[in-house]
Amino acid sequence: MTTFVLIHGSWHDGPLWEPVITELEALGHTAYGPTVAGHGKGVDKNVTHDDCVKSIVDYVEANDLADFVLLGHSYGGTVIARLAEEIPERIQRLIFWNAFVPQPGNSLMDEAPPHYRELFTSLAAATDDNTVMLPFPVWREAFIQDADLETATRTYELLSPEPLQPMADKLDLTRFYQSEIPKSYINATEDIALPPGEWGWHPRMSSRLGMYRLVQLPGSHEVMFTNPKLLAAKIVEAGRP
């Protein structure tokens, strides 16, 4: 049995892992899906990346979690990279699932294609709390294109505005790049949330991990909604000793 801690991406919160957690538990494992600070509906969005990391450190300590496999999805990759610096003794393996692995000193925004940087900056500027809501057409065509329209619409309603500041904060990550914690990268082969090619997930992000285990599966950036059973199986494969 393995214990998994699953860190969600932008516009998501912890409860959205429920279908995947159910499948992991059916396979005999234990899984937790905490919500990162500033994420979810109706919460204070005035947070920094450090606040996001601290919220998960606090969650891990409050639940006395140790010897677990830590997974980050998308933006969550930036969080687990920092957690590897803050609580390395508790982490058995890191799994990046179509996740950002920023270069030292970069922010997530530095790693995003120019069209996303421009879009997110302009959307945040139009709000009174510096947040970004992903437009539905981007969600439908680039994030969850393997779903039917009903599923895409239903799941979009579960999303919440994303604080821009944690995506803009520069991350040193010196200690992460020196870490010897084993690493895996899960790549959904139809994930075009980052456009394939120069800005794609794999091998651009995965190659930064040094020695790592690659696990692939068919599906979009949101296969957690469209095929949670397969994703859970691939998480187990990526997390095994």
Cβ atoms of 222 and 144 within 8 Å: the answer is yes
What phi-psi label fits residue 42: left (phi over 0), alpha (psi between -120 and 50 degrees) or beta?
Answer: left
Q: Indicate the residue type of 48.
A: T
The pLDDT mean for the chain works out to 98
Question: Measured between alpha carbons, how far is 227 from 222 in angstroms, rounded to an integer?
Answer: 9
**Dihedral sign of CA atoms 154, 158, 161, 164 in order:** negative
Residue 159 pLDDT level (bands cut at 50, 70, 90): very high
Provide the CB-side half-sphere exposure for 85 (13 A, CA). Answer: 17
What is the rounded CA–CA span in Å between residue 98 and residue 95?
A: 10
* Per-residue pLDDT tens over the stretch 175-199: 999 999 999 999 999 999 999 999 9
Inter-axis angle of helices 228-239 and 18-26, to 10 degrees?
60
pLDDT at 130: 98
Backbone angles phi, psi at 131, to 5 degrees: -120, 165
What's the rounded Cα separation, in Å, for the pair 81 and 62?
20
Question: In the structure encoding, which two tokens stand for residue 23, read together?
Answer: 């499948």
Q: In this predicted structure, what is the pLDDT of residue 85?
A: 98
pLDDT at 101: 98
Return the pLDDT at 203: 98
Question: From CA 83, how far away is CA 69, in angstroms rounded?
Answer: 12
Query: What pLDDT score was predicted for residue 83?
Result: 98
**Res 205: pLDDT:** 98
Do residues 209 and 96 make contact, with C-beta atoms less than 8 angstroms apart?
yes
pLDDT tens digits for range 100-149? 999 999 999 999 999 999 999 999 999 999 999 999 999 999 999 999 99
pLDDT tens digits, one per residue of 70-110:
999 999 999 999 999 999 999 999 999 999 999 999 999 99
pLDDT of residue 196: 96
Average pLDDT over residues 222-237: 98
What DSSP line would sit under 170-233, residue for residue? ----HHHHH----EEEEEETT--SSPSSTT-STTTTGGGGSS-EEEEES--TTHHHH-HHHHHH
- 8-67: per-residue pLDDT in tens? 999 999 999 999 999 999 999 999 999 999 999 999 999 999 999 999 999 999 999 999
Q: How many angstroms separate the CA atoms of 143 and 194, rounded?
A: 9
Note the pLDDT of residue 218: 98
- As a whole number of angstroms, the distance between CA 168 and CA 112 comes to 11
Which residues, in sequence order, are bridge partners of residue 96? 72, 185
For the entire predicted model, the pTM comes to 0.98
Q: What is the pLDDT of residue 161?
A: 98
Query: What pLDDT, on the 0 to 100 scale, is given for residue 123?
Result: 98
